[in-house]
Every structure is written in C-alpha cells, then in structure tokens.
Amino acid sequence: MKDFPFLSVLTLLPLVGALVVAFIPRTRAELAKMVALGWSVLVLVLSVFMWVAWTVKGGERFQFRESYTWIPAWGANFTFAADGIALVMLMLIAILFPVVILASWNDVDQSTRSAPAYFALLLSFEFTMIGVFAAADIFLFYVFFEIMLIPMYFIIGSFGSGQKQYAAVKFFLYSLVGGLFMLASVIGLWVLGGKTFDFTELVKATASIDQNTARWLFLGFFVAFAIKAPFFPFHTWLPDSGGAAPAGAAALLVGVMDKVGTFGILRYCLSLFPEASRWFAPTAMALAVIGIIYAALLAVGQNDLKRLVSYTSIAHFGFIGIGIFAFTTQAGTGAVLYMVNHGLATGLLFIVVGMFVARRGSSLVSDFGGAGKLMPVLAGVLFFAGLASLALPGTAPFVSEFLVLIGTFSTNKGYAVVATLGIVLAAAYVLWMIQRTTQGTLNPALTEVPAMSKDITLREKVVVAPLIALLLVLGFYPKPVTDVINPAVEATMLDVGVKDPVPTVEAGGKVGG
C-alpha cells in the first residue's frame, strides 16, 4: 500500500470530479449534487487508506514521495510528499468537503444560478487545497497557492450575498499581492539555492545564504502567509469574505484555506530560514497576541453572525501564531492540532449559522431572539458549536489551546498570560451570540417566517453529526492525531535549531523554569 501514488491521485481526483460535474446540464441539478457528493466521499475513502498506510513510529519525516519531471530547465518537478502536519491537514480537507457539499444542498437558487457550476467550483477548490498541502516542490506549491484563489473568487462573487463583488475582489487582491511577495522570494531562493525548487534540497542549501538576504527572503514568504492566515494587521479581507460567501464556502474558507498560511510558516519559513525565524519571532508573537485581543473585541461588537464567526477565527489564528513562534514542541504540536480542531469547530459553527440564516433570510443577530423556542435541537447544536469554538474542556479545541499556552508559558510567560485574556473574551462573544440568537423572549417576527418552525432535518443531522463526534472524541482522546503530528514538529524545531527548555532544580529540590 505504501507504493500507491496516494498524493498525486488524491490531488487529481477532485479535479476530474469537477470536470464531470461541470458538464452535467443545468437542468439536472440533483444529479450534479449526487455526483459531487459521491466524488468527495471517494476522496475521503482514499484519504482514510492513506492514513492507515502512514508509518507513525520509525517512519521517515516525508512519506508517500512522488516526483515527475515538469520544467527541466527550471529544475521544477511535480514532487509530492507529506509529513505529519500535511497528513492531518489532508484528512481535515477530506472530512470537511463531503460535509460542506451536503450542507450546501439547497444553497443555490436554480432560477438565477447553476447548481452544477457551484458544486464543480467546490470540487475544483478541493483540488487546489489538496495540491497545496501535498506539494514538496516550492514552485508547485506557489502555483497551487495562487490558483486556489480562482474557484473561491467565483464562489464568493457569483454565489454569495450582500457586498459579494466587493468581498470577492478584496479577497483576490489581498491574496494576489501576498503571492507576489512570495514569488519574489521563490525566485531569490531558486537563484541562491542551487537552481532547484525541491524542498529537501533547499533546506540544505539555505544554510549558506547570507543572513540579511535570508531575512528578506523570509519576510517575502511570511507576508504572503500572514495575509492568507490571516494574522493582524493583514486580516481585513476575512470578515468581508466570510460575511459574503455562502455558509458552506465560508466554512471551507476559515476551515481549510486559512490554514495554508500557518502551514506555510511552519513548513517554509521555519525550515528554510531558521535564523530569520528566530530573529522575527518576538515581532510575530506580538502581532499574534494583538490579533487575539483585537479580533475578540471586534467579535463582541458584531451584529452579523457570519462576520462575528469570521472575527473569532482571526482571534484563534493568534493562538496558532504564538504556538508556532514559541519554538517548543508542546506549543508547536498544539498549534498544528489547533489548525485541525479549529477547522472542525469553526466549520461546524459556520454551517449551523448558515442553517439559521437560511431559515430567517437574515444573518443579523438582532433579527433573531428566542429562536430556540421554535428550533430547540438546532439551537442546541449552535450552543455546542459555540462552546467548542471557545475551547470548553471536553472538546477538541481545549486540548490544542492548552498545549499552546503551556508550551508558550515555558519560554514566553508574558505572551502566554496576555493570550489567556482571549479565552475570557471568547466566552463573552460566544455566549452573547447564543443568548441573543436562541434565548430570551421570542421575537414575534420569527413566528411569521414559515421556515423558522422547522427544526433540524435528517440531512442536517447527517451534516453535523460527524463533526460533533470528532470534536468530542478528539477532546478526550487526541493521541492518534498528536502521534502523527509530533515527529514532524520535532523535525521542524530541529531545523530551526531550538530545543525545549529543561526545568531547573533549585536548592532544596524545588523545580523551577
């Protein structure tokens, strides 16, 4: 099974599915949905086989490596390989896409839009997402990094709501500008690194690059990834895009696409530019902590449910940021686990918010009030999704947040202490949202909306059940995932040239930091 070309097949499979769905006549919308769902489930099944074939103990850092000649004159190849960080992200993608496709079943108004086009765009987006995490050639990574913008641009601009054109253009321009910074660094890296784009070769070659040059190359990559994540102060495109995109697409936007930024920092910034990473770490951690507090305060003041969830994601990415730049294996493992758990929790929250918005015809918090009296089960699912988002003990995000904070506290006590304020603010904005949306006096206007009397349907139960189950299972038993992540994080810390702090024993046997 190890010899099977998992990554290339996994990358191309959604693209083939997208082409098949795109050629289904517009009048056969149900067929297009079924084919898209079946294709995404096929990708999930293949991903499960890949997970089973992964060697956890004693395996190589990069597994399932494939390489095919692409542009010999440039030294660019179709090279695929996955470490533990990439593997868990590929599994997250494989899990979320069938859920989102099923959740988006009735999102397209056939009178004005083509359902086959929408679901073909979702599958093409899955193709780019898998490719960007599976690529082990930096030029190939850059190509996937850029083309992922295209399907999401059309999803937001054609199938979104509100200021969808503005949001789509802003999303595209922000990411495109960031990509240009990275392209400059990719070219510089190719020239100085022996005219190769192979990641493993460049890790060796960058050791001889001048310190100042390496810092500039690092910044080119970092700006692109910080915009994609997004980190403060590069975050302003996300609330607009998340608020305008269809709920399912927004779940993918914050659930998987944003992770490309943090993944890129871990894979490329830290491993290729270790000295520059250590040099920039204090600034990066300061920006991350500011982002936690700033985004949480803005979330508290939002009246739009989708924008509120978008701001919560910016705050969560602050935790991932301090976990990455704390340079401890605990914090690093917590950051990667947070990437997975955030995708599950925020993906669930966006999907459930989408169910509320579809029924009410509005995303404004003030247009709800007491909705739990009409839809008690769906209100309960929203409550659970909110609690998972604020990292309640017993849910998966708590484990990752705890690892990030204790791993950061051992090296940067001040940042860890300030970051904990974000936990308090998270409780405020989540509970405020739940209280004003589902609790309290019933808004009389809700009784005049027929859809508000329909509680959770069978299809919606199938959508939310796997995400709820994973959030609970990983909340109590994250070991299968952390066992895969740990070796990759340890190898990355080795690339950076840092070691975990060793507790000191003071006189009298007291253990100190």
- Give the CA distances from residue 124 to residues 133, 457, 465, 481, in Å, rounded to whole numbers and listed in that order: 15, 28, 25, 27
The predicted structure's pLDDT at residue 323: 93
Per-residue pLDDT of the chain (513 residues; tens, 9 = 90+): 677 899 999 999 999 999 999 999 988 889 999 999 999 999 999 999 999 999 988 788 899 999 999 989 888 999 999 999 999 999 999 999 999 999 998 888 766 688 899 999 999 999 999 999 999 999 999 999 999 999 999 999 988 888 889 999 998 998 899 999 999 999 999 998 888 899 889 988 888 889 999 999 999 999 999 998 888 888 888 888 888 889 889 999 988 998 999 999 999 999 999 999 999 999 999 999 999 998 888 888 888 888 888 888 888 889 999 999 999 999 999 999 999 999 999 999 999 999 999 888 888 888 888 888 889 999 999 999 999 998 899 999 999 999 999 999 888 888 888 888 888 888 888 888 899 998 888 888 888 888 888 888 999 999 999 999 999 999 999 999 999 999 999 999 998 888 877 666 555 555 555
Count Cβ atoms below 10 Å from residue 465 Cβ, excluding itself. Answer: 12
- Give the CA distances from residue 427 to residues 22, 189, 388, 431, in Å, rounded to whole numbers and listed in that order: 43, 44, 11, 6
The predicted structure's pLDDT at residue 153: 92
**Backbone torsions φ then ψ of 227, nearest 5 degrees:** -65, -45
| Sequence-distant (≥ 6) Cβ neighbours of residue 178 within 8 angstroms | 223, 224, 225, 226, 227, 228, 234
- Give the CA distances from residue 314 to residues 86, 186, 373, 513, in Å, rounded to whole numbers and listed in that order: 22, 27, 31, 31
Using N-to-C axis directions, what is the helix angle for 138-147 and 115-134, rounded to 10°? 160
Q: What is the DSSP letter of 57?
A: S
**Backbone torsions φ then ψ of 257, nearest 5 degrees:** -65, -40
Taking a C-beta distance cutoff of 8 angstroms, is the pair 88, 335 a contact? no
Taking a C-beta distance cutoff of 8 angstroms, is the pair 260, 320 a contact? no
The predicted structure's pLDDT at residue 503: 63
Taking a C-beta distance cutoff of 8 angstroms, is the pair 170, 133 a contact? no
SS3 204: helix
Q: How many helices (H) and strands (E) does the chain have?
A: 22, 4
The predicted structure's pLDDT at residue 163: 87
pTM exceeds 0.75:
yes
Q: Looking at the DSSP assignment, which residues form a beta bridge with residue 82? A: 63
The predicted structure's pLDDT at residue 410: 85
The predicted structure's pLDDT at residue 75: 87
Taking a C-beta distance cutoff of 8 angstroms, is the pair 31, 38 a contact? no
Determine which helix (DSSP H) or strand (DSSP E) holds 109, and give its type and residue range: none
List the one residue out of 73, 84, 179, 119 whose CA is nearest residue 485: 84
Q: What share of the chain is helix, strand, coil (3-state, %, to 5)?
A: 75, 5, 20
**Measured between alpha carbons, how far is 249 from 163 in angstroms, rounded to an integer?**
16
> What letter represents residue 164's amino acid?
K
The predicted structure's pLDDT at residue 131: 95
